[in-house]
Amino acid sequence: MRKSDKKKIIFLSICSMIMVINAGCVQQKPLEKLGLIIAVGFDLEEKDKIKGTAVVQKFDPMTKSTSKVVTAISKTTKGIRQTENLQSDQRLVLGQLRSVIYSRELAKKGIIQLVDTLNRDAAIGNMVYLTIADKSASEILQLDQTKQDINLGTYMYFLIKQNVEGEQIISPTLQEFNHNYYAIGRDPVLPILKVKKDDIIISGVGIFKDDRLVDELKQGKLFYLKILMDQYNAGTQEMGFKKEKFKKIILKNENYTNKPLYSKIYLSIDNIRSKSKIKLVDKKNLHFKVDIKLDSRLLEMTEALDLAKPASVKFLENEVDKVMKKNVEDLLIRFKELGADPIGFGNEYEAHLRGKPITVEEWQKKYKQATFEVHVKNTIERTGAVD
């Protein structure tokens, strides 16, 4: 073996030993020495100060895992974290953060500065859920846990997750908030959480203009927001109609007519699939055409209807179309008056521009002139049992 080869072997051996030694010197982070922050909340406390509340998951090898809630007040989120650490026997880390909640008061003033701190923290992932508290964030995170044996941080995460997967609400991840906030011609939406009888519920969805909360949609309107914003493959919507309107297709059924429980006819429609398309048909006058197509099934009706005849089903489809069309039109006018654009009409307008991109200010001026032509086509494919 040549001398040069021997030197190479010796050199590589030394390097390998150094790497092994260094690997053993990496700072260890035993789980029982860390407090994993699962959820955080922020409230306006006083001028230039924010109150932070954190749900911390604690692990002890001698006992089962427990959770603890800590609060602190400071001018910055980093200052809040430092103060919270003084209240914990374990070092608090954000690597397992699942959800963030901002108070309504804070959301009305704007949350981008606080959201930006999440973007700058490498320990926080893009799939963290952002939410709004109906009142204060601390009220939700400090809910009396003695009445319910749950970890509020984990509960909040799964509350949002299962409703996103069930297509009841729009996904409110950090990534999606950033995408909609920084894109010209589209605004974010976030779910609103509320305390009701010592429980946490989703009371509606907050509509943002830039980073400020400007409106709230309650449960009945979320269906229409969803079909406008995304393809919809689930979800149920209740609709009420005057009995006189359905007179010609009402069946004579003694079980219904002799026991009148409802003053109207109520239908429960389950959406199998939907598709919406927005098209700018007049760039100069800013006129948009909105086409919505749905395939649905009738799950429930409070009156016996004759749906064995194709003509009766067609009549029902037309009546449902009218109700949906009116609700969509009202929603679009409401958004335009607020100057909020969660649907993305600005994106569609910008796609038709050539040359210099439009600014946020320019789009806000144009948006006030927008008009909408809405078409809804609903096909009821099934009127029987649910699969």
Which class is domain 226-382? alpha beta
Cβ 319 vs Cβ 247: under 8 Å: no
CA–CA gap between residue 205 and residue 225 (Å, rounded): 10
CA–CA gap between residue 87 and residue 52 (Å, rounded): 13
Rg, Å, the chain Cα set: 27
- Torsion sign, CA atoms 24, 25, 26, 31: positive
DSSP string, 292-303: EEEEEEEEEESS
Cβ 335 vs Cβ 186: under 8 Å: no
CA–CA gap between residue 58 and residue 44 (Å, rounded): 27
Cβ 53 vs Cβ 100: under 8 Å: no
pLDDT for position 147: 53
Exposed e or buried b per residue across 68-84, where buried means at least 16 C-beta atoms within 10 angstroms of its C-beta: ebbbbebeebeebbeeb
149 Cβ neighbours under 8 A, 6+ residues apart: none
pLDDT for position 10: 47
CA–CA gap between residue 132 and residue 111 (Å, rounded): 10
CA–CA gap between residue 225 and residue 331 (Å, rounded): 8
pLDDT for position 47: 83
> H-helix or E-strand containing 387?
none
Quote the tokens at residue 292. 């919505």
Cβ 91 vs Cβ 85: under 8 Å: yes
CA–CA gap between residue 72 and residue 34 (Å, rounded): 19
Backbone angles phi, psi at 290, to 5 degrees: -115, 115
Cβ 280 vs Cβ 291: under 8 Å: no
347 Cβ neighbours under 8 A, 6+ residues apart: 183, 184, 185, 186
Residue-range domain boundaries for the chain: 31-217, 226-382
pTM, full prediction = 0.84
Backbone angles phi, psi at 28, to 5 degrees: -85, 145
* Residue 54, SS3 per DSSP: strand
pLDDT for position 4: 47
Cβ 187 vs Cβ 340: under 8 Å: yes
- Torsion sign, CA atoms 266, 270, 275, 278: positive
Residues of the chain below pLDDT 50: 3-4, 6-12, 14-15, 17-18, 20-21, 23-28, 146, 385-387
pLDDT for position 61: 57
pLDDT for position 194: 94
Backbone angles phi, psi at 280, to 5 degrees: -85, 110
* Residue 194, SS3 per DSSP: strand
Angle, to 10 degrees, between the axis of helix 174-182 and the axis of helix 112-119?
120
pLDDT for position 299: 87
